[in-house]
Amino acid sequence: MLETINLSKTYNGVPALHPLNLKIEPGEIFCLLGANGAGKTTTINLFLNFIDPTSGSAKIGGLDVVSNPLESKRLLAYIPEQVMLYKNLSGLENLEYFTSLAGGKHNTGELRGFLAEAGLAATDSDKRVGEYSKGMRQKVGIAIAIAKKARALLLDEPTSGLDPKAANEFSALLRKLSGSGAAILMATHDLFRAKETGTRVGIMKHGSLVASYLTSSLGHAELENIYLEHMHD
């Protein structure tokens, strides 16, 4: 579902992403680990077609994101570190707006259902987003993904700044989405969350994917050691 073929990005001759070959199948959660500047966000931005690749291609559902920018985006949902919404609209109105722009048509009952599924309390749906915590905004982001029936999810540090309970709830939602067949790519610094949530983890360093493991094959401590070893090089 999510695939890169020799995908690379260079800024003024400085490589931000070395040729990357990656394939994330439906139902899989691939967590990209790495220090700041390792190339995680660059990879996500290339999938989103927010930046042009220097070489290679990124594909979503087999569609090249550069030659099919609109079509490929219809298949995905994007949840950044902070899901930014319109503060003068309620969570429900934001959800309705974003899903309608994505081509979805849902009645209010369905939209409330998506928000409930994402874990947002019914009493909060009609509050203006200006009053929302980060966790609540992230839940609206998840609700957008649910409403869109996204087949691919791109997440960039989505649990950063969330309290443990909220982060745990978020992870549970991701597992639920992957269980329904979505391919998920999540960039994160959080080793614990990556191990708990992901089906695979990849370690990026200086723009290269240097290692990739099945999370089921590693313990928390083992993952941490491997990660730190790569960071020390």
Print the binding letters for residues 56-95 with other proteins: x by CB under 8 A, - otherwise. -------------xxxxxx-xxx-x-xxxxx-xx---x--
Distance CA 70, CA 50 (A): 12
Instruction: State both tokens at 212.
Output: 């990739």
Residue 203's beta-bridge partner residues?
Answer: 33, 211
Residue whose tokens read 């503060």: 87
Print the binding letters for residues 92-111 with other proteins: x by CB under 8 A, - otherwise. -x---xx-xxx---------
14 binds other proteins (CB under 8 A): no
Least Å distance, CB 52 to other proteins, is 10
How are beta strands 183-188 and 29-34 bridged, if at all? Answer: parallel
* Plot region of 89 (φ>0 → left; ψ -120 to 50 → alpha; else → beta): beta
Q: How many CB atoms are closer than 10 A to CB 71?
A: 13
Candidates 1-9, 42-50, 165-173, 190-198 — which segment interacts with other proteins by CB under 8 A? Answer: 42-50
11 binds other proteins (CB under 8 A): no
39 binds other proteins (CB under 8 A): no
146 binds other proteins (CB under 8 A): no
Query: Which residues have CB under 8 Å from 127's CB, separation 6+?
Result: 90, 91
170 binds other proteins (CB under 8 A): no
Least Å distance, CB 10 to other proteins, is 16
Q: Which residues bind other proteins (CB under 8 A)?
A: 45, 48, 50-51, 69-74, 76-78, 80, 82-86, 88-89, 93, 97-98, 100-102, 154
